[in-house]
Amino acid sequence: MVSGHLFHCRKNSWPPEEYISKNTLHLFDFDSAAPPEHAWRRKLNSHANLLREFSVTFREAIKMVRLGIRLWSYIREEASHGRKAPIDPFTRESCKPSAAQGVPLGGMGSGSISRGFRGEFRQWQIIPGICKGSPVMANQFSIFISREGTNKNYASVLAPGHHEGLGKADDQGISSWGWNLGGQHSTYHALFPRAWTIYDGEPDPELKISCRQISPFIPHNYRESSLPTAVFVYTLVNTGKERAKVSLLFTWANSIGGVSHLSGDHVNEPFIGEDGVSGVLLHHKTAKGNPPVTFAIAACETQNVSVSVLPCFGLSEGSTTTAKEMWNKMVQDGQFGRDNFNSGPCMSSSPGETLCAAVAATAWVEPHGKCTVAFGVSWSSPKIKFLKGSSYHRRYTKFYGTSERAAQDLVHDALTNYKRWEEDIEKWQSPILRDETLPEWYKFTLFNELYFLVAGGTVWIDSPLPATNIPDNRHQLTNVENTDVKVSEAEVNSNHNAVVEHTATGCQRSAHLDPQIANEDVGRFLYLEGVEYIMWNTYDVHFYASFALLELFPKIELNIQRDFAKAVLSEDGRKVKFLAEGNWGIRKVRGAVPHDLGTHDPWNEMNAYNIHDTSKWKDLNPKFVLQVYRDFSATGDMSFGVDVWPAVRAAMEYMEQFDRDNDGLIENDGFPDQTYDAWTVHGVSAYCGCLWLAALQAAAAMALQLGDKAFAEWCKTKFLKAKPSFEEKLWNGSYFNYDSGSSSNSKSIQADQLAGQWYTASSGLPSLFDDFKIESSLQKIYDFNVMKVKGGKMGAVNGMHPNGKVDESCMQSREIWTGVTYGVAALMILAGKEKEAFATAEGIFIAGWSEDGFGYAFQTPEGWTMDGHFRSLIYMRPLSIWGMQCALNMPKAILEAPQINIMDRIHLSSVSSRSSHNETEKS
């Protein structure tokens, strides 16, 4: 339950001194052991509320009865083939979601494991598209302390917990362990991709403990950012007068989440590696024919730290060694026998038996002395297999090979390289964290929202890009007069090494690409729309999220666009039933941008989404053109522009069919034919119409730079007709109406009405409308959609009537969409309204991330209702907060470029642009 003062109190800073004593902070002021000044913080004894899911109203339910019946039937049909439907609102995980998440482990694309702020390893996504939310409670860090010459002894799991069966005398499982940590003096500090847990005198009042979690998420580093590994560095400070023997214990179950530990045939084996890195390999034989996984847990032996292992123990009576016996051994000796390293692989587990392993690191800490102990975990599942047959090798195998035993090399390299990773992470984050003009909450939320690029079910494969589609009429792109970029025939044919001649224009941006990796093949990348909407690279949502990839991993972003460019020019004639209306169509229409790259066979079977026929959606094609132009101008990658240009033209030409009155504008068709797929649109809409105007301008600019003059003229002609028509039909004097229809919500104020202008401004193109219309619309959105909802403390509601009442025509109109709110804030920044921008976006922080909020940290949902009920946790769109950062940090090339209207540089020929376009097509 959200506390009553959520909407009445604003806190502008979260200094660590409010959570940890200054003396303790001073003790950790070395070797990155102290938590950062800017971080998301929680006390370990904070209550983790159960989250509340949205429900539809009776009226909405009546409207969706037929859809619900068809969806239920489709879900059952998929289940009969052993597949999970991409959208399944009827099945719920047995583990109810709670406000307990934290920074996930590992890099991108090799499976992920999240770690809650209280220490639980949860949210397992090792198999693509399958998420197991429940924590594996045997996976823990524990500590054992004895002080020389005294009877002071402490033994505790380093996580607060009230485990079921705790304290039962005859229990042989983890309930027999010492769950003694209260958590009131322990705190968690998150700044993705790192996290710190500080135990300020728990369980030993005279031992201060810092554990920092480090994962290799390093922008522009396409090698180490793909590695499935993480490090936990414990810093121990003894404030007592006696020498202390401290043993840290890392336990791990042979499991990939859920009940996978019970499937049998799992094997553990110890290893001693190089540089003192020693531990246990846990070989997991994955059920249902999925590729196997091997975990490695390890610690680093040093002059002061000795490492020992127990390769196998079980959680029930009858195990060779039980969890209780393992614990008692550690209480008594603080370590295991060295001969365990020579025991070899253990017997494979039987079905129903849980197999676990333990690594202990023991050190003496002198009075007022310090000691560092490092643990690592890695997992190696080199092959991924999608349910309909296609298999690939993960990106990290390019560097570590395709053996599951690579887990040992991964954990070794993590334990020997983590300090360099931290240096790179700090170098990346410091300029933003030190910027005193930025609000405190924004600094750490900006980085923490990146959790999705690890925990969002990402897949990164070591696979070259598909062959690009160079059209037969390539001469259109060569040596055309009056263009800004001249590309020779030889250069067009040399896609990845084009040398181009640039002139100064208002459309070029400074390249983000590192020259050292400009020609590097970085493979192919997928991420889910959300863990509840299992579709890869959902494009209407990527439109918002892609700012993060463009800023941090631009080569990945370009490759995603190349995948969609190829998809635009392809067709898949297989029949699909669309569930909203029950009609049939083909899976993928040529010229249409797919909604997604698929679910069970991505790249090969696209459009897993089958609620509506997305070939009739009005936002996907303009969004493709806008993203391509933004990425083209941001990176200055001419070979990319040449590669995707045929698809840009095809995508624009495809949209002509939706201009039914020949006014240059596309019209919506009286159903939810855009990303708001439950919100019906009639006639011309603010959202899709604005995107279309922006796409015409972007396509014209790109055509001009690539030398396709005829197409630039066609775009300009369309734009000159469409813009006045758009303003005439939708501008009402203070904002653009939702649509030009006559429904009860046609005059609603849509928060996202200027999405096209957002991209126009982000790409360095001239504004679509005069400054008054942009400023007035944004002010209206701020005054109504933001400030009239709980005083601005929840974000921007999607729809608001001009009388100040929320538009409740459907569930999406009354929702606050987190990613859209960040996008609106980004446009406000670009329009010079920074105060309103940060106040708007802060609503998402207050309601979602703050200590008094609803508890959506590290699982930001698609949206929430005004009472805080969520829809679709762990969702892609909130990555759009990086659109705010891009707006704040516009490239120098744009800021200094002459302000020349791109349309003014396109001179229409005496022949009509329509006939010019047709002649070009035939030539």
**Residue 922: how many other CB atoms lie within 10 Å:** 6
Domains 100-132+140-435+443-461 and 524-902 share a fold: no
pLDDT digits (tens, 9 = 90+) for 227-245: 999 999 999 999 999 999 9
Backbone φ, ψ for residue 781 (5° rounding):
-60, -45
Instruction: Report the distance separating Cα 664 and Cα 648, nearest Å.
Output: 18
Which residue, among 662, 658, 657, 661, has the nearest Cα to 670 in the 3D structure?
Answer: 658
CB 112 within 8 A of CB 125: yes
DSSP 275: G
Angle at 691 between CA 686 and CA 693, to 5 degrees: 95
For residue 222, which amino acid is it?
Answer: Y
Contact 719, 664 (CB under 8 A): yes
Q: How far apart are CA 37 and CA 14, in angstroms?
A: 8
Q: Quick one: pLDDT at residue 144?
A: 98
Do residues 622 and 601 touch, judged by C-beta distance below 8 A? no
CA gap 575, 911 in Å, rounded: 42
Query: Could you write out the DSSP letters of every residue in 887-903?
Result: HHT--HHHHHS----GG
Distance from C-alpha of 10 to C-alpha of 214, rounded to nearest angstrom: 31
C-alpha torsion sign, points 455, 253, 358, 298:
negative
Q: Which of 621, 526, 615 is nearest to 573 (CA)?
A: 615
Q: How far apart are CA 767 and CA 770, in angstroms?
A: 7
Q: Which of 119, 142, 140 is nearest to 334 (CA)?
A: 142
Contact indicator for 111, 189 with CB cutoff of 8 Å: no
Where are the extended beta strands (E) located within 780-822? Answer: 799-800, 816-817
Q: Is omega for the bond preceding 891 within 30 degrees of 0, making it cis?
A: no
> What sign does the dihedral 617-619-625-627 (CA atoms) show?
negative
Amino acid at the residue 586: I
Q: Which of 264, 265, 524, 569 is nearest to 386 (CA)?
A: 524
DSSP 454-494: HHTT-EEE--PPPPP---TTGGGGSS-TT-S-B--HHHHHS
Tokens of 473: 């009429």
Closest CA to 717 of 572, 916, 868, 541: 916
For residue 526, give the H/E element and its range. Answer: strand 524-526
- A 10 A CB-CB count for 736 gives 26
Give every strand in the sheet of 863-864, ordered side by side.
816-817, 863-864, 870-871
Q: Tens of pLDDT along 809-842?
A: 999 999 999 999 999 999 999 999 999 999 999 9
Dihedral class, residue 444 (left if φ above 0, else alpha if ψ from -120 to 50, else beta):
alpha
Closest CA to 785 of 848, 834, 840: 840
Partners of 372 in the β-ladder: 235
Report the distance separating Cα 105 and Cα 451, nearest Å. Answer: 9
CB atoms within 10 A of CB 295: 29
Rounded to a whole number of angstroms, the CA Rg of the chain reads 28
Four-CA torsion 884, 885, 886, 892, nearest 10 degrees: 130
* pLDDT for the residue 96: 86
**Closest alpha carbon to 838 in 443, 434, 428:** 443
Give CA angle at 303 (302, 309), nearest 5°: 50
The DSSP call for residue 98 is B
Which H/E stretch holds residue 702?
helix 686-706
Sort strands 186-191 and 194-200 into parallel, antiparallel or unpaired: antiparallel
Residue type, 300: C
Q: Report which of 652, 669, 566 is spatially closest to residue 617, judged by C-alpha positions.
A: 669
Name the nearest CA neighbour of 617 among 659, 663, 568, 677.
677
Of 94, 141, 92, 132, residue with least CA distance to 114: 132
* Residue 242 three-state SS: coil
- Domain range annotation of the chain: 100-132+140-435+443-461, 524-902
Amino acid 59 reads R
Pick the CATH number of 100-132+140-435+443-461 from 2.70.98, 3.90.70, 3.40.50, 2.40.128: 2.70.98
Cα–Cα distances in angstroms (integers) from residue 855 to residues 115, 195, 442, 869, in the given order: 15, 18, 17, 11
Cβ of 153: how many Cβ atoms within 10 Å?
13
Tokens of 565: 């460019």
Q: What count of residues does the chain have?
A: 923
Beta bridge partners of 284: 293
Record the pTM.
0.92
Q: Which two tokens stand for residue 370?
A: 């310090």
Looking at the domain that runs over 524-902, which CATH code has it been given?
1.50.10.10
Give the chain's end-to-end CA distance (angstroms, integer). Answer: 67
Q: Distance between CA 68 and CA 579 in Å, rounded?
A: 8
Segments of the chain scoring below 70 in pLDDT? 1-13, 94, 162-170, 464-519, 891-900, 910-923
Residue 764: name the closest of 571, 660, 620, 894 by CA. Answer: 894
Q: Return d(Cα 485, Cα 474) in angstroms, integer.
A: 15
3-class DSSP state for residue 356?
strand
Rounded Cα–Cα distance for residues 60 and 63 (Å): 5
**357, 280 contact by CB (below 8 A):** yes
State the Cα–Cα distance between residues 90 and 369, nearest whole angstrom.
56
532 close to 130: Cβ distance less than 8 angstroms:
no
Given this model, what pLDDT does residue 743 score? Answer: 95
Which of helix, strand or coil describes residue 870?
strand
Specify the 3-state DSSP secondary structure of 821: helix
Q: How many Cβ atoms are within 10 Å of 430's Cβ, its own excluded?
A: 11
Distances from the Cα of 58 to the Cαs of 62, 64, 393, 546, 810, in angstroms?
6, 10, 47, 36, 11
143: left (phi over 0), alpha (psi -120 to 50) or beta: beta
Instruction: Yes or no: say if 83 and 600 are a contact pair by the CB < 8 Å rule.
Output: yes
Asked whether the beta carbons of 847 and 6 are under 8 A apart, the reply is yes
* Two structure tokens written together for 678: 């439950």
The CA distance from 227 to 752, in Å, is 37
